[in-house]
Structure 1
């Protein structure tokens, strides 16, 4: 694995990466997010997230989670779990970790996580357009988001398990951060799945693609590229696209789904911020400038950054513009794109406030 081409003195005597100066424009909510209690608001009620009215009870079948280590808990290579079960196991694993009942451990990972029989996985070009899908626009968009969230659960746990051999260097906090990300994503998937059911559909109702996991496989041997391509590219794209998705749902008249998506987008800022924190820290300890390293990795692995960018959300998450912005775009165009994103965010905020008054 590519990581430890470090400069002398980069490690503390304990072997853990020492705390760096905070990255520039670090997300202000990072400490609070890390220290918060386990989030039990896994049901979307009449007024937003709340604990489930009928929570799943601990059963003897769950004992293996409490006795296991963190890494192998939710990445089984056989007997594909139902997505709802994977979501539950993710939450249970993080809860046990947060309560001090698990160690990081190690795992022998399969090439890909267990997948249910549906949805059928096809290439992105084979995904039917909305008009040919036979599914209403709100359910169509929500199904796509549910697929992203289910993949995000696997991506976060794969990061925990894939790089567990670096535990002595990275320390507990790295694995705690990405276990919390997995728990957040499992909650997001639960909201999407619940809403799909309310709309008369279920996850698996239409084909989906495997693009996200292919990007994960490309980064399986390089922790810097994993952090670059997943939190700083894929999840950051969610910050860019989220407001547009919310606006489409409002235009469709589905305010309940738009509120769910808006909440998910808001919580994704933390996941991008965690990626910025660890990418910056590792680059510092390797004696490499983060901006040049990020751009070099994307070029090496042929990863394309696509706008338009949500500058405000990216700045909040702590991604400096010079990491991703094309220097060939003139200042006038940059300003106009930024103004468009700001106006869109304002419109969405006003629309959401209006729905609360109805």
Structure 2
């Protein structure tokens, strides 16, 4: 079996349970897969990406209603939003595997590990939602992460720069703030969500570190300055300029340099 073709097939799956289970299965059976140096499926074989269920209803980011986590439904909306991010993150990792040719085997192994961990995160959050009487798909969601994935589909350097180390790295900043609000609520379900987010934050540092590693590897291969070229890519692809507060400690563990952290603060 060939890993990149299988990753595309999993990406095409619409059912969330099937997709997360298949991502975990790919990771568990990694040793049995070969990796194609070049993989060029036809447009018909690719189809419409990513596969996603009929629900949740997908809206623009600006159309999303905000609700207080002080209420049970508000907490469910919050957990649902994070679950949707994790579901999207499975897709992002799988897309990074099948789409880009000519990378070392370690690149594909890294992103498969990410896909499997994101699947675990999604399942944890979905299980938590179900204990509260809700399920994935019960609330609207947005596709901001996948939009940047589409923008960078022809440029692996931009993909590594602007998806894991920009869009996903934002989770390193946001998670402690979300946890603080949930601790203030103090109910058993809120505190259970805090514990789940501890696991997610720990793993996401590793995911962003993978993005940083391969971004710098690609820049070195192509004779680019990682810090200078990043600013060019932000402008070229109209990536959102991130705003403080930043989780500098987590970002350092994920491989950001002091110069990069200072650049973020300059806004």
Name the TM-score, length of structure 1 as normaliser: 0.67
Correspondence for 1:136: 73
* 3-state SS of 2:34 partner: coil
Q: Aligned in 2, Cα 1:172/1:329: closer, same or farther, shift over 3 Å?
A: closer
Correspondence for 2:161: 228
C-alpha distance after superposition, 1:46-67 (max 9, x if no partner) = xxxxxxxxxxxxxxxxxxxxxx
| Aligned residues of 2:58 and 2:141 also touching (Cα < 8 A) | yes
Counterparts of 1:182 and 1:77 in 2: how far apart (Å)?
Answer: 10
Correspondence for 1:101: 32
Correspondence for 1:122: 59
Structure 1 unmatched ranges of 5 or more:
1-67, 331-358
Counterparts of 1:176 and 1:327 in 2: how far apart (Å)?
Answer: 30
Correspondence for 2:199: 263
C-alpha distance after superposition, 1:191-247 (max 9, x if no partner) = 001100111100001111111111000010000000011111012100000101111
Asked if residue 282 in structure 1 is aligned to residue 221 in structure 2, the reply is no
Counterparts of 1:229 and 1:101 in 2: how far apart (Å)?
Answer: 31
What is the count of residue pairs matched by the alignment? 255
Q: How does 1:240-319 map onto structure 2 within 5 Å?
A: 240-253=173-186, 254-306=190-242, 307-319=244-256
Q: Which has the higher helix share?
A: 2
Correspondence for 1:152: 89
Counterparts of 1:96 and 1:122 in 2: how far apart (Å)?
Answer: 36
* Deviation for aligned residue 1:104: 2.2
| Aligned residues of 2:93 and 2:111 also touching (Cα < 8 A) | yes
C-alpha distance after superposition, 1:101-156 (max 9, x if no partner) = 1112436333421110100111111112216xx96222111100000000000000
Counterparts of 2:110 and 2:208 in 1: how far apart (Å)?
Answer: 11
Instruction: Say which one has the larger Rg.
Output: 1
Counterparts of 2:171 and 2:248 in 1: how far apart (Å)?
Answer: 12
Name the TM-score, length of structure 2 as normaliser: 0.89
Structure 2 unmatched ranges of 5 or more:
none
Counterparts of 2:199 and 2:264 in 1: how far apart (Å)?
Answer: 32
Asked if residue 113 in structure 1 is aligned to residue 44 in structure 2, the reply is no
| Aligned residues of 2:12 and 2:49 also touching (Cα < 8 A) | no
Give the alignment partner of residue 5 of structure 2, picking from 67, 72, 78.
72
Q: Aligned in 2, Cα 1:130/1:160: closer, same or farther, shift over 3 Å?
A: same
Q: Aligned in 2, Cα 1:313/1:328: closer, same or farther, shift over 3 Å?
A: closer
Q: Which stretch of structure 1 is more off in the superposition, 134-143 or 83-92?
A: 134-143
Q: Aligned in 2, Cα 1:196/1:77: closer, same or farther, shift over 3 Å?
A: closer
Asked if residue 171 in structure 1 is aligned to residue 104 in structure 2, the reply is yes
Correspondence for 2:22: 89
C-alpha distance after superposition, 1:34-91 (max 9, x if no partner) = xxxxxxxxxxxxxxxxxxxxxxxxxxxxxxxxxx321232544998532111100000
Q: Aligned in 2, Cα 1:211/1:79: closer, same or farther, shift over 3 Å?
A: closer
Question: Which gives a bigger RCO, structure 1 or 2 (Cα 8 Å, sep 6+)?
Answer: 1
How large is the Cα RMSD of the aligned pairs?
2.1
| Aligned residues of 2:173 and 2:247 also touching (Cα < 8 A) | yes
Q: Aligned in 2, Cα 1:274/1:328: closer, same or farther, shift over 3 Å?
A: closer
Q: Aligned in 2, Cα 1:78/1:179: closer, same or farther, shift over 3 Å?
A: closer
